[in-house]
Amino acid sequence: PLWNLGLTASALQTWGNPLNDVEPDQTYIGLELSGAFAVLGANFGVLRHMSGDDENHDWIYTIGVGVGI
């Protein structure tokens, strides 16, 4: 097809030093909406903090773009 759209469940586990933004050893779960038109793709996600001791980041947001062949 020329275009597509999808919704996925996502899990994210941080470790090390994740860009000095969120703390390491945190777990987030949520949903990501992804879509593509021709060879260009994009996604956006909203994830809720589930475990770990980072009290400053109850929600995080993800965004991505890509090109497929």
Residues belonging to the chain = 69
pTM for the model stands at: 0.80
Measured over all CA atoms, what is the biggest interatomic distance in the chain, rounded to whole angstroms?
A: 44
pLDDT digits (tens, 9 = 90+) for 19-66: 777 889 999 999 999 999 999 999 999 999 999 998 888 999 999 999
What's residue 32's pLDDT?
97
Residues 6+ apart with CB under 8 A from 55: none
Amino acid at 45: G
CA 23/CA 35 separation, integer angstroms: 30
